Amino acid sequence: MKRNSRKKTLSTSLGTSGGRKAEIAEKALRLVNQEGLKRLSVARLAEALGVVPSALYRHYPHKDAILDAVVELVGERLAEHVEKVRREHFSALSRLDALLAQHVLLITSNQAIPRILFSEEVIGDADHRRARLGDIIHSHVMRIAAIIAEGQEEGEIRSDIAAEAAAVMFLGIVQPAAILWHVSGGRFDFSAHARTAWKLYRECLQPRKDVP
């Protein structure tokens, strides 16, 4: 009886704040990290939060709605990383270096990220989620391209390359390595790869000395 009473109280609290939706999505991301996508459901999420399922249905009526929220959460994390490196670093190359480190940490500390980005279970037949994930990644590319363009204006990055293409190449350091790290169960040394690839990428970006 006491246990049911506690769940009812938590259920009520979940419905009183708009910020609870973010809290629920965060918990869902943690569950995917710990247990994988297959176990994610409204019932399992409610159990993990210590509430009855009806407390969540007003926010997320089914698993697809939860996945939509988790995709949005990943997008927010990516945007936050760019803002963080902008605040803490003052040159384009140092920002890119720090952003790469943030991406590696995000993925290696959270198995849920590659599961979400590379899983057919997330994309599946949900055209709206596929399109939204595409928008999130494109926005992230453009934020990185803006950093590169600023470096070009400052003369730190060569001006004879397209900033957007260079931004896609930057993410190319991360994505294939993230897949290798994920499918190898962490045996692939993602961090070592990122350090080596960054040196090559940085050399490609630096102004060519033989060009006036």
> For each of the chain's 212 residues, which pLDDT tens digit applies?
444 444 443 444 444 444 778 888 888 888 887 777 777 888 888 888 888 888 888 888 888 888 888 888 888 989 999 999 999 999 999 999 999 999 998 888 876 676 666 666 666 666 787 888 889 999 999 999 999 999 999 999 999 999 999 999 999 998 888 888 878 888 999 999 999 999 999 999 999 775 55
**CB 28 within 8 Å of CB 40:** yes
Which position has the token pair 């001006």?
159
Nearest to 161 by CA among 119, 207, 123, 120: 207
Nearest to 194 by CA among 107, 92, 84, 86: 107
DSSP state of 184: T
Q: Domain check: are 155 and 178 in the same one? A: yes
Query: The domain that contains 93 carries what CATH number?
Result: 1.10.357.10
Q: Domain check: are 122 and 210 in the same one? A: yes
Domain final position from 61, 95, 112: 61
Q: Domain check: are 41 and 89 in the same one? A: no
Q: What's the rounded Cα separation, in Å, for the pair 45 and 33?
A: 13
Domain boundaries, position 15: 1-61
The predicted model scores a pTM of 0.81
Q: Domain check: are 86 and 123 in the same one? A: yes
Query: The domain that contains 35 carries what CATH number?
Result: 1.10.10
